[in-house]
Structure 1
Amino acid sequence: MAGHGMGARRLDPDEMKLAPGQKADVRRVVRLFRPYRGRVALVLVLIALGAASGVVSPFLVREIVDVALPGRDLGLLAWCVGGLVLATAIATALNVSQSMVSTRVGQAVMHDLRVAVYGHLQRMGLGFFTRTRTGEVQSRIFSDIGSMQAVVTSVMTQIVSALAGIIMALVAMTAMDWRLTLFSFVATPLAVWMNRRVGNRRRRIVKARQEKSADLAAGIQESLSVSGILLSTTMGRTQALTDRFAADSRELADLEVASETAGRWNMALFTALMSIIPALTYLLGGYLLVGGDTSITIGTLVAFIALQSSLMPQLNGLLRVSNQISASLALFTRVFEYIDAPVTIADKPDATVLDPRSVRGDVRFEQVDFAYPGSEELTLADVSLLAPAGKHTALVGHTGSGKTTTAYLVARLYDPTAGAVTLDGHDLRDVTMEALAACVGLVSQETYLLHATIAENLRFAAPGASDAELVEACRIAQIHDHIASLPEGYDTMVGERGYRFSGGEKQRIALARTILRDPPVLLLDEATSALDVRTERAMSDALETLGRGRTVISIAHRLSTIRSADQIIVMRGGRIIERGGYEELLAAGGDFAELVAQDETWQDEIRQVEI
């Protein structure tokens, strides 16, 4: 962006924050332009010069009418005409120059605002996105900020330009005749009152319109994704979804119409009033002239009407633009709501930067309690455990026992409500997020692949990885042979969310992606749940080889895969109820023995199906 090449400072989201409950106002919008105040000052100077050149012409016209023509002074006439041409040329050049500079500044501000919102959302943590629809986020970044573009790039300069023109014209008109000047503004109070009414109404309509637009975008995001199409087709809801979309689209169209037509009759009345005033000014000026007032001449009256004719559109435009800004503040409020959203997981100012190469991998939970945001019920309660460096710790338990939440706390997707989670004695809250991400690798059961090639998906974790390193990681993950058999190999596009591949293939690609990062701590959240028994056994052997020398914390889907775990943690209701080795816990006859029995029954059923 042009703005950054000249030493401009990127917008800091903290500078754009408002107090709780405060709405966006013009002062906050103006703060967006702080990094570009030098160029904003240049725009203001160009606007002022343009306005000044615009008021020169009426004085030249008065000189022509009152002096040059009655006195048949061709020399003076030529000079005045030349002045008119020069004033027009200068005004045009100044207008083009300020338009180019203001457009660059406006686009730079738009760029900074988008980046500020996106960067802030990147820091919001998993909890925010579990409560917010993806379509809503996209709507605010693209639709809301896109709708604000006209305000940021041109409306601000239109206001300043109109104000400068009004001030210059007002000074010139007053210098010609103060009585005619007062008369020119007789309808202004009525116009301001009508404008405020229209502005408040439009702001409410625009807010409702953007909310409906966000709902529509979220619906499109959900229903026209691969998963959405599969769901609507298999559930026979295609026509119902189309009908609902049509109803929402019609409501949005009605709001668009209401937004565009709000206050049109009021503004039309004011425009008609502004058009009548010059004619009435001729009447008043003629009355003064015929009455023998020597302070007014025909040239003065003609020049005054010329100034008045340029003033009325400026005044009308200023009121219209201020109305537009009033409506646009609803958009700014929606965008600033995201910027104002508190970051729940952030680096401390003095956070520690750990070197992954020196991390041993001791992971410890110290009397940890955890409740998800907005919930008073504890998901984990008084959890204390040690996952020793270089050892394999397995977490098992029924669904909802807290296994995945435990893994999320190790990756610091959430912070504990009470207690502490440490890595080599460092509280994770005291470690930078970037360093922690380099130390802890997570392979989740919710596999996500980018709509890109296999190689690009793998290098998302390690941008500098060589082709040989990609192949090695994929060999360990038992996926290389399949990739090599594809016509385009590692250049194969995976499709949206990886839907060109089976669940097991996606899991193995995701595992290879984590292997590339070579983290000292590896979290496996049912990372082999989508694999068939034979492939899972092969990959389990590979994972055992991979896990040597690093800390592995796995959440077991099939208990037969954790026989070699150094310790097994059994969880129920967010608490640890058993811990020990496989044979030790089996012999104890507790919850683990029950889980193993259920797993063996299920495995027998699978083998019968395969036979």
Structure 2
Amino acid sequence: METDAGADPVVPLRRIAGLFRPHRAALAGLCGLLVVQAGLGVVAPFLLRAILDDALPRRDPFLVSLLAVGMIVASVGSASLGVVTTGLSNTIGQRVMNDLRVSVYGRLQCMSLAFYTRTKSGEVLSRVFNDIGGVDNVITTTAGSVVQNATTALAIATAILVLDWQLALLCLVLVPVFLLFTLRLGKKRRSLARGRTHRMARLTTLVEESLSVSGVLLAKTMGNEKTMRDRFGVESREIASLERTAAMAGRWQTASRAMSLTVIPALVYWGAGLLLAGGATPISLGTVVAFTSMMNRLVGPATAMQSVGQNVATSKALFARIFEVLDLPVEIEDRPGARELRLRGGALELRGVSFRYEDGPWTLRDIDLEVAAGTTTALVGSTGSGKTTLAYLVARLYEVTEGRVCVDGTDIRDVTLESLAAGVGMVTQETYLFHDTVRENLRFAKPGATDAELEAAARTAHIHDTIAKLPDGYDTVVGQRGHRFSGGEKQRIAIARVLLRNPPVLILDEATSALDTRTERAVQAELDRLAEGRTTLVIAHRLSTVERADQIVVLHEGQIVERGKHEELLARNGHYARLVNGDNL
């Protein structure tokens, strides 16, 4: 998923504009208000001309007062609409930002487990926070700014043509000529932004990995804290250098633009003064002053429109990374017409199942396996034999490359992922707890669970007494990744979490590996009791965990080499016997 920092991403502006499509009605209302605001903005110069050319020469105090009040009302109305339109523009922008964040998060959540095994977590965080945060200003201000400045510029152009078409043509020819100075500025800034996002992704990865509990523990025990600080310093200096270059990029062009937009009105005023002094044209003093006011107003929209263009060009690198996420193919999703899984007993059947990661070697090959409803099957084998991968295929965390996995005779690809997750529970070797209370960690499995249900599941997993002794009991915050608890305690909380769901099919992947012998026996006894009438798939290295299984399946190099009961397999003196004698299942 990582974008090459040297690539030149091409993002069509229509795709960026498409982000605003769901908010067309609000945009239409915003455009209407901006047109009215632009119209009010050009009223004052005409009223000023009337004061100078009509009211003052006639010495008419009533007319002067009326025109002055008109200028005040127009100004107040324009300013008030400016506040309203700014609020509406930001509201629309934040809605778009919310849609974008939710879309990116949703797409990342849909990705398979294999995606996360090959993608750095810091890279994922960078897409969600750095990239989306980087386009916040463009999205929240661009729509309103483009429409506002376009309507204002159009209104001013129309007004100056009405005031004096000769001066207007001179102005409208000179302004675009001077704006050409900054045409290349956007491309340069886009290149710098692309390099910055690449560096920020690397820095985010470094921070996420090194400042986690595990990362800090590793650095301290290895005595590599200085090394990590040096690595961070190198990445930070690179970003600082890019930021400095970006800050100075196009400063001469920008200075020339600002200067030109001040020089142009001066030239126009000079020309108008010559025409007025020479008497070659019937231009009035009021027209010159009004025209001057209009030209001052034109500087703002012209500058703002060009800034918007540069900001959009700069943000294209970020948009490219965001759209790259949104365009990721979802490897595992509900098929069209997928139905709810309605379990009758939870019988499992694997026919001709093979699996490999992308184009790598086969992890599993030609697996045929039947697990009768309500029975326990133990998967054993040496490290790397494919036990966990097979379990993940049953839970559809990975998609089979060949063959099919069925539950109660139904191919799991034909049922919804939500209903499959409700029917197949899993406790993995790597326990994960959120940085939240014990209560909320348990309720993650069953949001509507009562306190009594939480305690019952905790008692079953032999963790209730430990939780009850905590200062805040079930309301105690577990800490990052549950580091407040020992490995065995975390594992028992994870077991309680799955038991709370009470799934008909239960997968235990080294579920008691972190427990001491005494606790393991107690928890295993409860798991054995709960396994009655439940289809259970057990992966374990300890003999005591698997010897009571209804069926033991031995995997070797991704294939089933033996199956049967404990005594039968020992009598064969094959792979299983060698594993048992080596005390390494």
TM-score by length of 1: 0.92
Q: CA deviation at 1:109?
A: 1.4
**For residue 466 of structure 2, what is the aligned residue in structure 1?**
482
| Structure 1 residue 516 corresponds to structure 2 residue 503 | no
Question: What one-letter code is carried by the residue in structure 2 that aligns with 1:73?
Answer: D
Within the candidate set 393, 396, 405, 2:377 is matched to 393
Q: CA deviation at 1:463?
A: 1.5
**For residue 269 of structure 1, what is the aligned residue in structure 2?**
256
Counterpart-to-counterpart distance in 1, 2:328 and 2:538: 33
**For residue 15 of structure 1, what is the aligned residue in structure 2?**
none
Please give the residue correspondences for 1:444-483 in structure 2 after superposition, counting only pairs within 5 Å: 444-483=428-467
* Contact persistence 1:455–1:490 (CA under 8 A): yes
**For residue 605 of structure 1, what is the aligned residue in structure 2?**
none
| Structure 1 residue 558 corresponds to structure 2 residue 542 | yes
Q: CA deviation at 1:26?
A: 2.5
The range that moved more, 427-436 or 120-129, is: 120-129
Within the candidate set 279, 283, 288, 2:275 is matched to 288
**For residue 190 of structure 2, what is the aligned residue in structure 1?**
203
Secondary structure of the corresponding residue to residue 394 of structure 1: strand
Counterpart-to-counterpart distance in 2, 1:587 and 1:169: 96
Counterpart-to-counterpart distance in 2, 1:485 and 1:595: 41
**For residue 399 of structure 2, what is the aligned residue in structure 1?**
415
Within the candidate set 137, 148, 151, 2:124 is matched to 137
**For residue 4 of structure 1, what is the aligned residue in structure 2?**
none
Secondary structure of the corresponding residue to residue 379 of structure 1: strand
* Contact persistence 1:187–1:273 (CA under 8 A): no
Please give the residue correspondences for 1:107-118 in structure 2 after superposition, counting only pairs within 5 Å: 107-118=94-105
Counterpart-to-counterpart distance in 1, 2:173 and 2:376: 85
Counterpart-to-counterpart distance in 2, 1:334 and 1:259: 19
Counterpart-to-counterpart distance in 2, 1:194 and 1:529: 68
**For residue 428 of structure 1, what is the aligned residue in structure 2?**
412
Within the candidate set 502, 517, 522, 1:533 is matched to 517
Q: CA deviation at 1:73?
A: 2.7
**For residue 574 of structure 2, what is the aligned residue in structure 1?**
590
**For residue 480 of structure 2, what is the aligned residue in structure 1?**
496
Question: What one-letter code is carried by the residue in structure 2 that aligns with 1:71?
Answer: R
| Structure 1 residue 341 corresponds to structure 2 residue 328 | yes
**For residue 351 of structure 1, what is the aligned residue in structure 2?**
338
The range that moved more, 481-490 or 343-352, is: 481-490
Pair 1:423–1:293, CA change in 2 (3 A): same
Q: CA deviation at 1:192?
A: 4.1
Question: What one-letter code is carried by the residue in structure 2 that aligns with 1:381?
Answer: R
Secondary structure of the corresponding residue to residue 185 of structure 1: helix
* Contact persistence 1:359–1:439 (CA under 8 A): no
Task: Write out per-residue CA displacement over residues 401-460 of structure 1, whole angstroms, 9 at most, x where no aligned residue.
Answer: 000000000010011001101111111111101100010001000110111122211111
Counterpart-to-counterpart distance in 1, 2:41 and 2:230: 56
Secondary structure of the corresponding residue to residue 184 of structure 2: helix
Please give the residue correspondences for 1:102-181 in structure 2 after superposition, counting only pairs within 5 Å: 102-181=89-168
Q: CA deviation at 1:191?
A: 4.1
| Structure 1 residue 363 corresponds to structure 2 residue 367 | no
Question: What one-letter code is carried by the residue in structure 1 that aligns with 2:267?
Answer: L
Moved over 6 A (4+): none
Counterpart-to-counterpart distance in 2, 1:213 and 1:190: 37
Q: CA deviation at 1:118?
A: 1.2
Counterpart-to-counterpart distance in 2, 1:399 and 1:215: 32
**For residue 8 of structure 1, what is the aligned residue in structure 2?**
none
Secondary structure of the corresponding residue to residue 135 of structure 2: helix
| Structure 1 residue 249 corresponds to structure 2 residue 233 | no
Counterpart-to-counterpart distance in 2, 1:508 and 1:359: 28
Counterpart-to-counterpart distance in 1, 2:194 and 2:395: 38
Counterpart-to-counterpart distance in 1, 2:574 and 2:181: 77
Within the candidate set 1, 26, 29, 2:16 is matched to 29
**For residue 607 of structure 1, what is the aligned residue in structure 2?**
none
Question: What one-letter code is carried by the residue in structure 2 that aligns with 1:142?
Answer: F
**For residue 315 of structure 1, what is the aligned residue in structure 2?**
302
Identity %: 49
**For residue 357 of structure 2, what is the aligned residue in structure 1?**
372
* Contact persistence 1:528–1:557 (CA under 8 A): no
The range that moved more, 513-522 or 487-496, is: 487-496
Task: Write out per-residue CA displacement over residues 164-217 of structure 1, whole angstroms, 9 at most, x where no aligned residue.
Answer: 111011011112222212221344444443332100111111121122112111
* Contact persistence 1:102–1:154 (CA under 8 A): yes
Q: CA deviation at 1:108?
A: 1.5
Q: CA deviation at 1:150?
A: 1.3
Counterpart-to-counterpart distance in 1, 2:453 and 2:515: 24
Within the candidate set 38, 51, 58, 2:25 is matched to 38
Counterpart-to-counterpart distance in 1, 2:457 and 2:296: 75
**For residue 554 of structure 2, what is the aligned residue in structure 1?**
570
Task: Write out per-residue CA displacement over residues 19-65 of structure 1, whole angstroms, 9 at most, x where no aligned residue.
Answer: xx973332222222222211111111111111111111111122122
Question: What one-letter code is carried by the residue in structure 1 that aligns with 2:532?
Answer: R
* Contact persistence 2:186–2:314 (CA under 8 A): yes
**For residue 3 of structure 1, what is the aligned residue in structure 2?**
none
Counterpart-to-counterpart distance in 2, 1:433 and 1:439: 10
| Structure 1 residue 97 corresponds to structure 2 residue 84 | yes
Secondary structure of the corresponding residue to residue 379 of structure 2: strand
* Contact persistence 1:25–1:329 (CA under 8 A): no
* Contact persistence 1:452–1:493 (CA under 8 A): yes
* Contact persistence 1:380–1:575 (CA under 8 A): yes
Question: What one-letter code is carried by the residue in structure 2 that aligns with 1:87?
Answer: A
Please give the residue correspondences for 1:292-311 in structure 2 after superposition, counting only pairs within 5 Å: 292-311=279-298
Task: Write out per-residue CA displacement over residues 105-126 of structure 1, whole angstroms, 9 at most, x where no aligned residue.
Answer: 1111111211111122111121
* Contact persistence 2:462–2:492 (CA under 8 A): yes
* Contact persistence 1:408–1:414 (CA under 8 A): yes
Counterpart-to-counterpart distance in 1, 2:446 and 2:299: 62
Q: CA deviation at 1:294?
A: 3.1
The range that moved more, 109-118 or 408-417, is: 109-118
Secondary structure of the corresponding residue to residue 490 of structure 1: helix
Q: CA deviation at 1:291?
A: 3.7
Question: What one-letter code is carried by the residue in structure 2 that aligns with 1:152?
Answer: I
* Contact persistence 2:178–2:260 (CA under 8 A): no
| Structure 1 residue 194 corresponds to structure 2 residue 178 | no
The range that moved more, 396-405 or 119-128, is: 119-128
| Structure 1 residue 330 corresponds to structure 2 residue 314 | no
Counterpart-to-counterpart distance in 2, 1:284 and 1:419: 84
Structure 2 regions of 5+ residues with no counterpart?
1-7
CA RMSD of aligned residues (A): 1.7
| Structure 1 residue 54 corresponds to structure 2 residue 41 | yes
Secondary structure of the corresponding residue to residue 406 of structure 2: strand
Within the candidate set 54, 61, 64, 1:67 is matched to 54
TM-score by length of 2: 0.96
Pair 1:132–1:299, CA change in 2 (3 A): same
Secondary structure of the corresponding residue to residue 471 of structure 1: helix
**For residue 4 of structure 2, what is the aligned residue in structure 1?**
none
Task: Write out per-residue CA displacement over residues 357-388 of structure 1, whole angstroms, 9 at most, x where no aligned residue.
Answer: x4311111110111113x33111111110111
Secondary structure of the corresponding residue to residue 583 of structure 2: helix
Counterpart-to-counterpart distance in 2, 1:563 and 1:174: 94
The number of residues matched between the two structures is 578
Task: Write out per-residue CA displacement over residues 506-558 of structure 1, whole angstroms, 9 at most, x where no aligned residue.
Answer: 11110111011000100011111111222222222221111000100011211
Secondary structure of the corresponding residue to residue 103 of structure 1: helix
Counterpart-to-counterpart distance in 1, 2:344 and 2:160: 78
